[in-house]
């Protein structure tokens, strides 16, 4: 997408940087104009650099590169808007990785057709001033992810299972359930 753009003027022509006596040489003007033609897209890119690193503004072919920067995987078959959203939330996904909220966020962002997500885990935390208190949760780690969708066709179960596997703690087995909801899902 980026490259030479015919007729794009250079904001800083090379000939203008020469001493005045050399600026009047017609051959030198024509010769340096070819450099201006090559440098103009570079200046344009540098002027718009902030938009290249903003996932909501970056050119479509830059999204995969940005995804690598933030360490998230995007499928090139996803709609562009969904890829932009996943890349924009890359830091959030990593910050919450392995938590129930993080798993739910990752499934919501990557699952098209997902209305809601419930994550049940067997763990828990407790604080007590008296020793010997009963511990919460179950001694066996387990994770159950329930995805609410309007239609079974709206949900790619393999993709969601891969997402859960990627963001859950590695030692915790998981199950994935798709529950169909009627209407608007509320």
Domain boundaries, the chain: 14-47, 98-127+136-186
Which tokens is 128 given?
Answer: 């007590």
> Which pLDDT band, with edges at 50, 70 and 90, does 88 fall under?
very high
> What value does the mean pLDDT of the chain take?
85
How many residues does the structure list for the chain? 186
d(CA 38, CA 34): 7
Please report the pLDDT score of residue 183 as a whole number: 66
Please report the pLDDT score of residue 133 as a whole number: 78
Q: Which CATH number fits domain 98-127+136-186: 3.20.20.120, 3.20.20.80, 2.40.70.10, 3.30.300.30?
A: 3.30.300.30
- Sign of the C-alpha dihedral, residues 91, 81, 66, 64? positive
pLDDT 10s digits, 113-153? 788 888 988 777 777 788 887 777 777 888 999 999 888 88
Edge to edge, what strands does the sheet with 174-180 contain? Answer: 114-121, 143-149, 174-180
Cβ proximity of 149 and 182 under 8 Å: no
What residues contact 118, with CB distance under 8 A and at least 6 apart? 104, 145, 146, 148
* 1: pLDDT strictly greater than 70: no
d(CA 79, CA 176): 24
Please report the pLDDT score of residue 4 as a whole number: 63
pTM as predicted:
0.66
């Amino acid at each position: 997408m980026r490259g030479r753009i015919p007729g794009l003027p250079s904001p800083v022509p090379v000939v203008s940087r020469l001493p005045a006596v050399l600026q009047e040489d017609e051959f030198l003007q024509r010769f340096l104009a070819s450099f201006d033609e090559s440098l103009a897209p570079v200046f344009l890119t540098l002027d718009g650099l902030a938009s290249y690193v903003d996932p909501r503004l970056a050119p479509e072919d830059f999204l995969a590169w940005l995804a690598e920067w933030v360490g998230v995987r995007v499928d090139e078959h996803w709609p562009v808007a969904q890829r932009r959203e996943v890349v924009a939330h890359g830091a959030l996904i990593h910050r919450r990785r392995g938590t129930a909220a993080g798993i739910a966020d990752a499934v919501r962002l990557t699952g098209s057709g997902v209305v809601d997500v419930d994550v049940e885990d067997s763990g828990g935390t407790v604080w007590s001033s008296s020793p010997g208190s009963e511990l919460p949760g179950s001694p066996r780690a387990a994770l159950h992810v329930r995805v609410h969708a309007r239609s079974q066709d709206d949900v790619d179960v393999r993709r969601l299972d891969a997402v859960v596997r990627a963001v859950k703690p590695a030692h915790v087995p998981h199950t994935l359930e798709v529950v169909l909801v009627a209407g608007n899902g509320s």
